[in-house]
Structures are given as structure tokens and as C-alpha cells.
Amino acid sequence: MRVTTKGQVTIPRRVREILGIVPETDIDFVEENGKFYIVKTSGNKPPKKFTRFRGIATTRMSTDEIMNLTRKWDERNSR
């Protein structure tokens, strides 16, 4: 495995599958006795602003209806 000039490596598919690493997974490197291990972090980040709305917009909703939903969410959660 090679490290790029940016310090990046590709985690092999088998390792990603075993560890359950998918896109957007947070990982960390832990050192024990001079060896480093990749571990998944808990990822307790706040949800992204519009995560709640994912999948509810359908072709039956107009752009104005969608924008009204996002504005209402923003008003309630910015207090």
C-alpha cells in the first residue's frame, strides 16, 4: 500500500467491510505499544441541517412547498 503525497491511503475493501466503514464514517488512529490501529469513532455529531427532510420530497411537492418545510424547520430550531 502506498501513501499519496497528501498522506492518504486506500483502506482495502475487506478491511472496510469487516470494520463496517462506509462513506462518511468517522475513524481515528489509536496507538498501543508502538502500533497503530484504525477504529471507528462514535460519530456523535449533530445531524446535518436537512437530514430530517431526506426522502420526504416527492414529485407531488412543488419547490415552494419544499422551501416552506425547510423554513419552518429552520425557524423552530434556530431558537
pLDDT tens string 32-55 = 999 999 888 876 666 667 777 777
Higher pLDDT: 62 or 57? It is 62
Section 4-25 average pLDDT: 90
Q: State the Cα–Cα distance between residues 32 and 16, nearest whole angstrom.
A: 21
Same domain, residue pair 28 and 50: no
Same domain, residue pair 32 and 64: no
Query: How many domains in the chain?
Result: 2
Same domain, residue pair 21 and 37: yes
* Residue 19, burial from CB neighbour count under 10 angstroms (0-12, 13-18, 19+): middle
Same domain, residue pair 3 and 37: yes
Percent of the chain residues past pLDDT 90, beyond the cut? 27
Reduced to 3 states (helix: H, G, I; strand: E, B; else coil), residue 3 is coil
Domain interval for residue 13: 1-42
Same domain, residue pair 5 and 38: yes
Same domain, residue pair 57 and 76: yes
State residue 3's pLDDT score: 93
DSSP string, 37-70: EEEE----PPPPTTGGGTTT--TTS-HHHHHHHH
pTM, two decimals, is 0.46
